[in-house]
Amino acid sequence: MLDIISITGPVFIVIAVGFLAVKSSLMSAEEIRGVGRFVLLIALPALIFHAVASRPMSDVFEPSYMAAYAAGSLLMIAVSYLFSRVVTGLDQSRAAIRSMGMTCPNSGFIGYPIMLILFPEIAAQILALNFIVENVLLVPLLLTMAEQGRNNGESRSIGQSLKATLTRLARTPLMIAIALSVPVSLAGLPMPALVERPLGILADVAVGASLFYVGSMLAIVGKKGMSAKAIPTAIGKLIVHPLILLVAYGAMVALGLTSADEPMLLALLLTGALPAFTVFPILASNYDYGAEAGFALIVMTAASFFTLTLLLILTQDASGSMWGNLF
């Protein structure tokens, strides 16, 4: 038990430090935005480039992991969207945005630090794989669905909305880092120390700064959308999403499409059990759902300490190694 808490505890302590830094007025919202921009535009792209470019492509891409993540998340989108439309009566745009909160995890700011503690050898690889699925498939799909809900989809065709979203995402430093690192990896070019060491330094900075930023953003968002309506979003993201991903991976194993790879499976479940990404309230505000999304993010992040800890306990067998009897 203490071993598990030693994994999740430090992560959430740093998040709490970020939260307190803003609440105590030690740092302003403007200063925090600078931290976030540094992590998102410089540190994480450096980490991704270093992770992909410094190893053979065969050691980076895991088709079975990406397929399970994509298939399970698409199923989660369908379930959460139908729930939001039929059960809670949200319109198309808000239903799509709530589905985003239940499906798109904080792979970079929270997921990577946890993965780095659990399995440092593949943590950066998992981050790259997650970013590809999220930025090429999940986020474009959900933003297109949300955009189509505006004016009953009359302003743009589905193709136009999807193209605009993909174009916008393709220009982000994270996707540019992935695009630039792939040719280097394929060519097998050794990275000069003069390049590799600065990238490594920036990658190391990304961990603490990311967690600090998450906590500070929670303080900035505040309790403006405080409502019980946040509970289904939190349950969907922290509990239902990892269960659906487990089913997706299990189905692939049962069909003989892949073998049970314990570290990859644990990484997949942890990804599903992460709270929503930090920009969730910002994107949601474009569809009059920002306050609710902000409070849902607070609930998810606070509750994820307990759900992630429980997940690690459940996947630990009597000998102390991961995976008990899942497969």
Convert the pLDDT of each residue in 144-175 to its tens digit: 999 887 756 555 677 777 888 888 888 889 88
Enter the pTM of the model: 0.87
For the chain, list the domains and their CATH numbers: 2-314 (1.20.1530.20)
Task: Residue 179: count other Cβ atoms within 10 Å of its Cβ.
Answer: 12
* Nearest residue to 327 (alpha-carbon basis) of 255, 269, 246: 246
More confidently predicted of 187 and 149: 187
CA atoms of 47 and 203, how far apart (whole Å): 4
215-257 tens-digit pLDDT: 998 898 876 657 778 899 999 999 999 999 999 999 998 888 8
Q: Contact 19/221 with Cβ under 8 angstroms?
A: no
Tell me which residue has tokens 């050898």.
Answer: 121
pLDDT on residue 288: 86
CA atoms of 62 and 198, how far apart (whole Å): 27
Please list the residues that pair with 322 across neighbouring strands: 316
* Nearest residue to 55 (alpha-carbon basis) of 104, 121, 2: 121
Q: Which two tokens stand for residue 40?
A: 């998102």
In order of 158, 159, 162, the CA distances from 140 in angstroms are: 11, 11, 6
80-121 tens-digit pLDDT: 999 999 999 999 999 999 999 999 999 999 999 999 999 898
